[in-house]
Chains A and B, each alone.
Chain A
Amino acid sequence: MSGFAQNTFNGLVSGAFYALLALGLAVIFGMLRVVNFAHGAFYMLGAFGAYVLLSEAGVPFWAALVIMPVGLGLLGMALERAVIHRLTKLDPLYNFLLTFGLTLILQDLVKLRYGVQSSPYETPSLLSGSVNFGLFDFPTYRVFILGFAVLLCVAVWWVLTRTRIGMVVRASTERPDLTRAFGIDVGRWVTPVFGFGIGLAGLAGVLAAPMRAVNPLMGADLIIVVFAVVVIGGLGSIFGSVAAGFGIGLVQAWGEAYLSNFPLVSQTIVFVVMAGVLLWRPAGLFGREEAPA
Chain B
Amino acid sequence: MTNTVDTPTDASRSTPPSGLIAVARAPGWVRYALLAVGLAVAAWLPNGLYPAVAVDILCWALFAVAVDLLLGFTGLMSFGHAAFWGTSAYVTGLVAIHAGLPFPLAVLAGALAAAVLAVPIGYLAVKRTGIYFAMVTLAFAQMVYYVANEWRSVTQGENGLQGVPRELFGLDLTDDYFFYYAILPIVLLGLAAAWRIVHSPFGRVLVGIRDNPARARALGYPVHRYKLTAFVLSGFIAGLGGGLFAVGHRFVSLDVLHWTTSGKAVIVVVLGGIGTLWGGVLGAALVVRLEDWLSFSGFEAIGLVTGGIFVLVVVLFRRGIWGSVAALAHRLAARRR
Contacts and interface: CB of A to CB of B under 8 A. Distances in A.
Contacts of A225: 139, 142
Interface size class of B (residues with CB under 8 A): 35 or more
B306 A92 contact: no
B307 interface: yes
Interface in A177-231: 220-221, 224-225, 227-228, 230-231
Interface string B127-165: 111111011101110110011011100000000000000
Given A235-B131, A267-B149, A274-B136, 16 more contacts: A35-B134, A91-B15, A92-B130, A92-B131, A93-B130, A100-B263, A100-B266, A104-B303, A221-B142, A224-B139, A268-B143, A271-B140, A271-B142, A279-B124, A282-B128, A290-B130
A101 B125 CA distance: 23
Interface of A: 35, 83, 86-87, 90-94, 96-98, 100-105, 107-109, 111-112, 220-221, 224-225, 227-228, 230-231, 235, 263-264, 267-268, 270-272, 274-275, 278-279, 282, 290, 292-293
Nearest to B270: A97
A83 B311 contact: yes
Q: Nearest 5 A-B pairs (CB), nearest first? A: A104-B307, A101-B310, A91-B14, A271-B143, A104-B303
28 contacts: A91-B130, A92-B131, A96-B79, A97-B310, A98-B311, A101-B308, A103-B307, A104-B303, A105-B304, A107-B303, A108-B304, A109-B304, A111-B301, A224-B139, A225-B139, A231-B135, A231-B139, A235-B131, A235-B132, A263-B150, A264-B151, A267-B149, A271-B140, A272-B143, A279-B127, A290-B129, A292-B214, A293-B130
A220 B142 CA distance: 11
Nearest to B76: A93
Interface in B255-314: 259-260, 263, 266-267, 270, 300-304, 306-311, 314
Interface string B12-53: 111100000000000000000000000000000000000000
B213 interface: yes
B318 interface: yes
A287 to B, nearest CB: 9
Interface string B80-106: 000000000000000000000000000
